[in-house]
Structure 1
Amino acid sequence: MPAGRVLVVGVDPARIEGWDPAPVLAALARGRARFDEYGIDADMCLVVPDESPEEVIAEALRAAEYACVVIGGGIRTHEPLLELFERVVNLVRQHAPDAAIAFNTSPEDSADAALRWLH
């Protein structure tokens, strides 16, 4: 079993107005199952960009000792959220300075992203 707990930080698809969250929620569930298959303890922190996401993320980072934090593409690749992405990276540095930072390509491969850094 890989050593260390993982936090996955992403945008809450159920809270985006005018958008069908079902496909992303299904992908998140499949991604969650992959953590279980690998025997990795993982927590999800899904945020709403317009509702103080920094506070939610900081609280999640303080809730446990994380070996790796996976930052999802919803935060990383959506240009209007560039500033939030920068704040997330700095929150990880502040609240989990020993944690590796990983990036997934989809909600389904978050466990694979974390495995690149877990020892």
Structure 2
Amino acid sequence: MTSRQVLVVGLDPHRIPGPWDPAPVTAAIEAAAERFRELGIDAQNCLIGLDGTDDVPALIAALDAHPWDCVLLGAGIRKNEELLPLFEKLLNVIHLHAPATPIALNGGLHDIVDATLRHLP
């Protein structure tokens, strides 16, 4: 039996200008990755910079690498009104390259896995 495949698309905490401490966000991303492993889910992170320009090719490559059971588009991208153009760009890339794949939307760092589980068989 093959494991379920999940792509998690979110902001790269180390590429957000500070001053701020990216460590809590990095820890939450790592905790979600560990929980995915515990559930037998193969999750891959695709972390994006604030403008996303250089990251779209990497997202396309990840989406085209194999079929995904779910793509999570992170709350950090969606909830910031200033990032609406980036959210639209990423959503359209996901729709174009994985049109049959469910897209999960989380509320924050605390529910990355739970949001994804809503869309997995």
TM-score greater than 0.5 by the shorter chain: yes
Q: Residue 94 of structure 1 aligns to a residue in which SS? A: helix
Q: Which residue of 1 aligns with 2:102?
A: 100
Q: Which residue of 2 aligns with 1:53?
A: 55
Q: Residue 111 of structure 1 aligns to a residue in which SS? A: helix
Q: C-alpha offsets along residues 90-113 of structure 1, whole Å, 9 cap, x if unaligned?
A: 111111111100011223422211
- Aligned: 1:6 with 2:9: no
Q: C-alpha offsets along residues 10-65 of structure 1, whole Å, 9 cap, x if unaligned?
A: 01001112121001001111111111121111100001123423222112211221
Q: Which residue of 1 aligns with 2:79?
A: 77
Which residue identity does 1:105 align to in structure 2?
G
Which residue identity does 1:24 align to in structure 2?
V
Higher relative contact order (CA 8 A, sep 6+): 1
- Aligned: 1:29 with 2:30: yes
Task: Mark the runs of 5 or more structure 1 residues left unpaired by the alignment.
Answer: none
Query: TM-score, normalised to structure 2's length?
Result: 0.89
- Aligned: 1:42 with 2:69: no
Query: TM-score, normalised to structure 1's length?
Result: 0.90
Q: Is the 8 A contact 2:16 2:50 kept in 1?
A: no
Question: What's the Cα RMSD here?
Answer: 1.8
Which residue identity does 1:111 align to in structure 2?
V
- Aligned: 1:66 with 2:43: no
Give the counterpart of 2:111 among 87, 91, 109: 109
The percent identity for this pair of structures is 48
Q: Residue 41 of structure 1 aligns to a residue in which SS? A: strand
Which residue identity does 1:39 align to in structure 2?
G
Q: 1:8 to 1:107 in 2, by over 3 A?
A: same
Rounded to whole Å, the distance in 2 between the matches of 1:2 and 1:21 is 34
Task: Mark the runs of 5 or more structure 2 residues left unpaired by the alignment.
Answer: none
